Structure 1
C-alpha cells in the first residue's frame, strides 16, 4: 500500500483520498452554510466557500492512493465493524483557522469525551487491522472545514451554536473532480 505524496501528481484519474468522518445531515449542512456565508461577509477573507455537500469532520485520514490497494477498503470496513459506541451530542459553536493554513473551520469549544473516544478507538481498530493512517499531528483537532484558500488567519471566535446529534460515521472516498462518495455508513448504537 503506497500513499501518494501530492494531489497534483500527473496521473490523477486513479487517485483516491480515503478518510473516516462524521457526516452532517442536510439540516445541519444548511446551518453550517449559513454561518460560513455570514463569516465570509463579515471578515472578507477571500478564498472559496466549500460546497455544503463536502462538509464533514475527519476522524481518521487513511491517505491518498494511486492505485487503490485492493484490500484497503475491505480492511478499513472490517476495522470499523468492530466499533460499538453510543451516539452523542456535540455543538459547533466557534470558528477559526490554524496558523500556517489557508482554511477556516467550525469547531466546538467543549469537545465531548465520546468524540475523543470514537477517534481513539477507531485508531486502535485500524492499527489492529494493519490499515495505515496519517497522523493529525500531536493531537486530534476536531474541525469542519468551511473555506479554502483564504488570505488571512482568523482567531477563534464564537458563532451561532449548531447542535449536532452524532449518530453515525462514514468512510469517504474523495476523487479529483468528483463528489465525495460515501463508501459505507456505521450507526452509533446506544
Structure 2
C-alpha cells in the first residue's frame, strides 16, 4: 500500500477565497513533515538548552510552528488555487512507509537573522527517497520553478540576533514520521494552515 490522504484541518474552500487583505499579503506554500506533540516538547527543551548554553540572543519559534520542510513552492501575492491543486495531485502520486528520523545535533545557517536548527547525523534513506519522489512528481506537474536541487533536513527552532549557532550534540530526539502535509502561511502572520495531508502506510 502507499500513502493515503487524510482530512485537512482547514477546508480548501475557506483558504482559496480572498479579498483585498489577502491580495496585499505574501502567501507561502510548502510541503513539510510535522512533528507530534511529544516530539515538539523535546525540540522545545533542546532549543532552550542550546540557547542557554551557547548564550545566544535568539527569537524562539513557537512549538506549533516546528516543521521540517520537504519542498518550497514559492511566495505569491495571492494564494494560487492552480498551484495548490497541482501540488495536491502531485503529492497523491507519492508512496512511502513510516520511518524514524533522529535529531541529534544543533547547528545554524548563515543569514541576516541566522536560523538555529536541529539536524540529523544520518538522513534515513526513506526520507531521501520521499524527497526525491515528491520532487519528481512536482516537476512532472509543472511546479519545478522553486524546487531546490539539494536537501538538508532540519527543524528550525529559533532565529539568532547575533552569532551563528555553533554545531553541538543534543540528546537524540527520535521522531517517527508517519506522513507529510502541504502548508500555507502568510509571511509575518500567525499559524500555518494545512491545505492537505497524507499519511503513510506499509508499502
TM-score (norm 1): 0.89
Out of 99, 106, 110, the position equivalent to 1:95 is: 106
Deviations 1:30-60 (A, max 9, x none): 1100100111111121120000011000000
Give every structure 1 segment of 4 or more consecutive aligned residues whose post-TM-superposition deviation is greater than 6 Å.
Answer: none
The 1-side partners of 2:102 and 2:88 are apart by 27
Unmatched segments (≥5 aa) in structure 2? 1-21
Task: Report matched runs for 1:19-34 at 5 Å.
Answer: 19-34=30-45
Asked if 1:127 is matched to 2:139, the reply is yes
Q: Tell me if the contact between 1:89 and 1:163 (Cα under 8 Å) persists in the aligned partners.
A: yes
Instruction: Map 1:118-157 to 2 at 5 A.
Output: 118-136=130-148, 139-157=150-168
> Match of 2:142, SS?
coil
Deviation (angstroms), 1:100? 4.1
RMSD: 1.8
Residues 1:44 and 2:55 aligned together? yes
Count of paired positions: 180
Distance 2:23 2:168 in 1: 37
Cα-to-partner distance string for 1:107-144 (whole Å, 9 max, x where unaligned): 100110111111110000001111245244x5211111
**Contact between 1:61 and 1:133, CA under 8 Å: does it hold in 2?**
no
Residue 28 of structure 2 corresponds to which residue in structure 1?
17
Match of 1:107 among 107, 112, 119: 119
* Pair 1:70–1:114, CA change in 2 (3 A): same
